[in-house]
Structure 1
Amino acid sequence: MNEFGVETKLSSKSNELLKKLIRYRYVYLLILPGLLFLIVFKFIPMWGLILSFQEYNPFQGILGSEWVGFKNFTDLFSSEQFYMMFRNTLLINLFSLVFYFPLPIILALMLNEVRHEVFKRVNQSIVYLPHFLSWVVVVSITYFMLSADVGVLNKLLNQWDMEQAALMSNPKFFWILLTLQSIWKDAGWGTIIFLAAIAGVDPQRYEAAVMDGANRWRQIWHITLPAIRPTIIILLILRLGSMMDVGFEQVLLMYSPVVREVAEVFDTYAYTQGILRGQISVGVTVGMFKGIVGLLLVVSSNWIVKRFGYEGLY
């Protein structure tokens, strides 16, 4: 093809793209705020990752700070706290993955089986409400219920002449309390995606199943669950990708020197070193390490899912 033919082809593609942009202008306008948010708060700040290769000095700025190569990474990996942080972060997320992740699916299936619409809507509103509470409120409620000095539970135990239960100051219960808080706060909110996926199931499939004599359990197992399986897989991949992330506000508010051995995670370490102690490069290094691990987990889990014949994230 000659030069004019290539130019004609490119011009045709440009015109076609312009026509699509004009035709779907309102759709792209709807996407614009989210796209701007992604660019401004996710992509532009990524240039700051170079701080992980510097000994950052705020008076010298990014361009004037000393380059130290991979020193920050070697210091992080050789730190005595690295194993503790890695263990705590991983186990907190495993607790969440095993005990929290299935609950929105189960709750969505239960809500879908409710036939009385008013009762169903009321229950949905009730389970959604805790999501809108801040972690400060959730931790305050936990403190009010379980603390050793003002906790309702211990006051009841005192009245019954029973030994007090120091749950909030006992490291053995720290991960359990975090998981229970997450379940109470966000399990109901997590049902929204699964209920939307269930709503897309063709009702004729249920009618055909009833004609074949399938009860409600059979319909759930053979129709509803396979229909929402792609949604479950995608959310599972995304969840695995955030295995190095822990709810920072939740852990920080529950943190105390008594439970430090089980509460110190990468997020709290980055906050302590980067903000409180002014070692910005250390905080950035921790964030970069978490991002790389998350990327590897997403890619590997997506590859495994595809190897089993399911549709992955990409």
Structure 2
Amino acid sequence: MDDYFDYDLAMDDTMNYSYAMDYTAMYDLAMDDAMDDMDDVSTRIIIFLVIGVCVGVPAVSWALRMLFLHVRGGGRVSIFIIFLLFSDILELFLIPFLIASMSSNVIGRHGCGYSRLWYFYDRDCPIALIVAFIGPRLCGLCFHQLVALESILSLRHPHCVSCLSSPFCSIPISVAIWICPLIYFISPSVLSLMCFALLPVAVIVAILSCVFTAKASCSCADPGTTSRKDRGTSVRVLAVAMGALWVLYAPFLFVPLWIIFPYIGSMFVCIMSFRVVADPLLCVLVFKKNPQRQPTQTGIELNTVQTSD
């Protein structure tokens, strides 16, 4: 009888061991498949990041050249434009480090893994990765809409622009925007909450831009060619701002889904890589809208009148 019970116990142990081996094999197979999928997603993101850099560098260079010409011509430059271009330059500078880190950890078996890379829950990740994904993009979200609103307000409400662009107003706003990404170092879990807090602000600014653009387009107080040209430029500025908001920045609304559906997160990361093209385009439109040539022409006309007298 004892031999019979010993035989049953041995068989139970053998079956439990076989079940454990089968479960381990299935788990390893599932993990291998997941790692292969992560490898494909990471490769796709690297390709889009490289394309974004290749297209963004000429775009930012174009905007910086227009900025230099605008300043040399005596034009006024908003601090929001400066910080918007700075966020693009910062992202372009940090993306190569991000690509190098992703290339060395494509599958995510060591170091900064796939989920940690995109969701920033690991404080061991390089700070450059955190800044490259959180800092410039969240700050660019606000600066992009502020630049558009400032440009549109200058058409009908120049006194509001002078107040918004004053150092007493623009500097505290800019500092507050740049401080927001630093909240991550206090509590990484507030990333989604921070995105949901900043996006309504950007949406409100975008709605104000639409309202002021509609008022400027419906106004017939100045039917001259210059006024029509300014209104057309304001419409283009609004189109770029709204397109960038809903196409490039709206993915921040879906940050919680990135954890549940990694493929959605990878798609959004790929799309947002092209913000380094939309931001310089907006700046160039603003510079062309305010070429600051009218004061010089007025001065020439006054000198001509004084000479004739």
Q: Which has the larger radius of gyration?
A: 2
Which structure features the higher share of helix residues? 2
Q: Which has the higher contact order (CA 8 A, sep 6+)?
A: 2
| Superposed pair shares fold, TM > 0.5 | no
In the superposition, the TM-score normalised over structure 1's length comes to 0.29
Task: Name the TM-score, length of structure 2 as normaliser.
Answer: 0.30
